[in-house]
Amino acid sequence: EESLNGTSVLHTYSLLCGADILRVHDVKEAVECVRIISKIKEFTK
C-alpha cells in the first residue's frame, strides 16, 4: 500500500509514453489509470 502512489505514477507515465501492457498487482488502480489516460488521449488528439 505504501508504494501505490508511486506505482500509479509510473503506470501513468508508461501509458503516456506508449505502453500497451502493464504488469500489475493492484488491478483496480491500474484499470483506473488506463481509463483516465485513454480519455486524456481521446480528447487531446
- In angstroms, the CA 24 to CA 5 distance is 13
Determine the average pLDDT of the residues in 30-34.
95
Phi and psi torsions of 34, nearest 5°: -60, -45
Task: State residue 2's pLDDT score.
Answer: 75
Task: State residue 4's pLDDT score.
Answer: 87
Phi and psi torsions of 21, nearest 5°: -135, 135
CA 7 to chain centre: 9
Residue among 27, 25, 29 at smallest CA distance from 8:
29
Residues 6+ apart with CB under 8 A from 8: 29, 30, 33
Over 90: is that where the pLDDT of 45 sits? no
